[in-house]
Structure 1
Amino acid sequence: MLKVSNLSVSYGNTRIIRNLNFSLGEDEILMLVGPTGCGKTTILQALAGLIPISEGQICLDNWRATPDRFVQPEKRNVGMVFQDFALFPHLSTEQNIYFRLKNKELAERWIQVLGLEELRHARPATLSGGQKQRVALARTLAHNPACVLLDEPLSNLDAALKDSLRWEIRNALKEAGVPAIWVTHDQEEALSVGDRIGVLNNGVLCQLDTPENCFSEPASRFVARFLGEASFLPGRLSDDQKTVHTTLGEAPAIPINDASDQVDLLIRPDDLSLQQDSTGHGHISWVRYEGGARFYAVQLDDDTEVKVRVSHEHRLEPGERVSLSIITTHPLAAYAKR
């Protein structure tokens, strides 16, 4: 089991990662997300032994790394999958996967599992992006690592391929029974693939929880905004702290960080319905067509802006007056009024 305790990483006098703590189950997939420059890749490099750590420790199986006790990358038994595939261009698929392997039996298993049998003798230049990433994953798993680190493995692929390959990679990791840390900029990818999500900002882990909890009960407004479209509707929390009263009606609520009385209610686009109404709550500011849906921004009469997503058949134009209703039945996160 991988365990990270009080981990900090600095570049010169600049602290990049601050007091990071987490542990990883035997076959758990942890997705790390956050803005560019928040420290996601730095964490992977520290775990792999590519950069030194400033404080804390990293423990995995039979080794422990600290600032005073450096463990060489080749002795960590950690596999890495990169966004640029990192394949040897002069070697075939089979040769890339076999590279530095003494026992090829496990390599053969992953060639079969990842559908690479017919591509054994192909060179990387003739492979598609998805095929290259499967080769890179097979090469990593063939070494039977104790942990796998994936640095934006799908970022160089087109949208349609990403959707299918993310599940191929997840299934392969689960079949291997190996824990993994997967860095991504794609919130949808993080929410759908990960067993848990870690949301980073400025080197600090803001929340570490299940995808559902991170999305529905974000620990902060930052997490709420980063994991999806977020609107904040002013309201008043009831005395029993189970309901919020707003201009759009009542909604079940869960207070975040001891919020009370005057709050801002987190509203996702699917939490609302809207309809044309000349005496409604506000007007359409803009609309975006998304194929199966239309995405609206509504300016309420109190100047609050909320976003709503409805069926593409529900067509309204900017400037039209509308009324909205809160239609969710699950508790919505309520934050202390700013």
Structure 2
Amino acid sequence: MLNVRNLSVDYGSTRVVDNLNLALGKDEVLMLVGPTGCGKTTILQALAGLIPVTEGEISLGNWSSTPKRPVPPEKRNVGMVFQDFALFPHLTVQENVCFRLKDTSLADHWLKLLGLEAFRQAKPASLSGGQKQRVALARTIAHQPAFILLDEPLSNLDAALKDSLRWEIREALKAAGIPAIWVTHDQEEALSIGDRVGILNGGKLEQLDSPEKCFAEPASRFVARFLGEASFLPGVLDGRQVTTELGPAPGIPIDDARGAVDLLLRPDDLSLVPSEIGNGVVDWVRYEGCSRLYAVQVGDGVQLKVRTSHEVQAEPGARVQMGITTTHPLAAFSR
């Protein structure tokens, strides 16, 4: 099991990663997300041994790397998959996957499993982006690393291909039984693919938990906003019940919140019905195909976002009736 304890990385006088602690479980896919410049790629480079660390320890099996006793990359048995694929342009697909392999049987296995059998003799220049990424993954897995680091592997692909390839990569990692840390800026990708999700902010890990826990019970307002559209409605928490101007709702206190709170509402937690005597006014509306996303102002200038069927239509400036429809507990933050 990969263990990271109190890991910090400085670039000059700037701390880029601050006191990171995590353990990567057997065949676990751990997603790391966060805004640009939060330290995601730096963490991967530190784990791979490509950059020096300032403080802390990285250990796996029979090796342990510290600032005073660093372990070089070639001794860590780590595989990496990059966003630019990093394939040898002069080698065929088969030669890329088999590069420095003594036993090529595993390469054959992964070429077949990842649908690359027909492209064995092709050069990378003739492949699509998705095919190149499969080749990069096959090469990495065929070398049987102890763990794999993926640095935004799908960022250069179109949306439709991303959706299918992310699941192919996850299934391949699970089939190989190799744990992985996958960096992405795509919140949907992180929530759907990861066994656990880590949210970074300014080099610090704000929360590390299951996707469901991070989304429904975010540790901070930053996590709540980063993992999806978030609105906050003032209310009063009494036990596990929050009283709001839109009615009562079940609540979960975050960090022992009590009394006056802000209730986290996702667009799917609310309902919207056009009404001349409604309790809200539409600020704007965005058509999304099968749905519409509304921003509605209620009460004393509070703006809430609500997603409805595309059949529900209300123009900006129109009055609507808003209500809380969810039955699951909602996160409540101290005001």
Shorter-chain TM-score: which interval? over 0.9
* Cα distance per residue 1:6-39 (max 9 Å; x no partner): 0000111111111100101110000000000000
Counterpart in the other structure of 2:212: 212
* Cα distance per residue 1:138-186 (max 9 Å; x no partner): 0000100000000000000000000000000000000010110000000
Counterpart in the other structure of 1:250: 248
In structure 1, what is the Cα distance between the partners aligned to 2:299 and 2:142? 61
Higher mean C-alpha displacement, 209-218 vs 93-102: 93-102
In structure 2, what is the Cα distance between the partners aligned to 1:302 and 1:13? 45
Number of residues of Structure 1 aligned to a counterpart in Structure 2: 335
In structure 2, what is the Cα distance between the partners aligned to 1:178 and 1:107? 15
Counterpart in the other structure of 2:103: 103
In structure 1, what is the Cα distance between the partners aligned to 2:179 and 2:306? 37
In structure 2, what is the Cα distance between the partners aligned to 1:117 and 1:178? 22
1:49 aligns with 2:49: yes
* Cα distance per residue 1:43-99 (max 9 Å; x no partner): 000000000111110011221100011111111100000000000111110010011
Structure 1: any 5+ residue segments left out of the alignment? none
Structure 2: which amino acid aligns with 1:291? G
* Cα distance per residue 1:231-255 (max 9 Å; x no partner): 00000011xx211000000000000
SS in 2 for 1:279: coil
8 Å contact from structure 1 (residues 289, 312) kept in 2:
yes
Counterpart in the other structure of 1:271: 269
Structure 2: any 5+ residue segments left out of the alignment? none
In structure 1, what is the Cα distance between the partners aligned to 2:313 and 2:175? 46
8 Å contact from structure 1 (residues 79, 140) kept in 2:
yes
- Cα offset, 1:301, TM superposition: 3.1
Structure 1: which amino acid aligns with 2:257? A
In structure 1, what is the Cα distance between the partners aligned to 2:27 and 2:299? 50
In structure 1, what is the Cα distance between the partners aligned to 2:295 and 2:19? 39
In structure 1, what is the Cα distance between the partners aligned to 2:291 and 2:14? 45
1:9 aligns with 2:9: yes
Structure 1: which amino acid aligns with 2:166? R
* Cα distance per residue 1:92-142 (max 9 Å; x no partner): 100100111111111111111111110000000100000000000000001
Structure 1: which amino acid aligns with 2:297? Q
What are the equivalent positions in structure 2 for 1:180-191 lying under 5 Å apart?
180-191=180-191
8 Å contact from structure 1 (residues 61, 146) kept in 2:
no
In structure 2, what is the Cα distance between the partners aligned to 1:173 and 1:301? 49
Counterpart in the other structure of 2:279: 281
8 Å contact from structure 1 (residues 32, 198) kept in 2:
yes
What are the equivalent positions in structure 2 for 1:309-324 lying under 5 Å apart?
309-324=307-322
In structure 2, what is the Cα distance between the partners aligned to 1:177 and 1:61? 16
Query: Segments of 4+ in structure 1 off by > 6 A?
Result: none
- TM-score (normalizing by structure 2): 0.99
SS in 1 for 2:232: strand
In structure 2, what is the Cα distance between the partners aligned to 1:7 and 1:301? 46
In structure 1, what is the Cα distance between the partners aligned to 2:162 and 2:43? 23
Counterpart in the other structure of 1:179: 179
SS in 2 for 1:206: strand
- Cα offset, 1:282, TM superposition: 1.6
In structure 2, what is the Cα distance between the partners aligned to 1:157 and 1:181? 20
RMSD over aligned CA atoms reads 0.6
Counterpart in the other structure of 1:139: 139
Counterpart in the other structure of 1:88: 88
Higher mean C-alpha displacement, 220-229 vs 104-113: 104-113
In structure 1, what is the Cα distance between the partners aligned to 2:290 and 2:89? 41
- TM-score (normalizing by structure 1): 0.98
SS in 2 for 1:88: coil
8 Å contact from structure 2 (residues 2, 25) kept in 1:
yes
Structure 2: which amino acid aligns with 1:252? P
1:23 aligns with 2:23: yes
Higher mean C-alpha displacement, 274-283 vs 229-238: 274-283
SS in 2 for 1:189: helix
SS in 2 for 1:64: strand
Structure 1: which amino acid aligns with 2:64? R
* Cα distance per residue 1:173-229 (max 9 Å; x no partner): 000101100000000000000000000000000000000000000000000000000
8 Å contact from structure 2 (residues 245, 299) kept in 1:
no
8 Å contact from structure 2 (residues 187, 227) kept in 1:
yes
SS in 2 for 1:171: helix
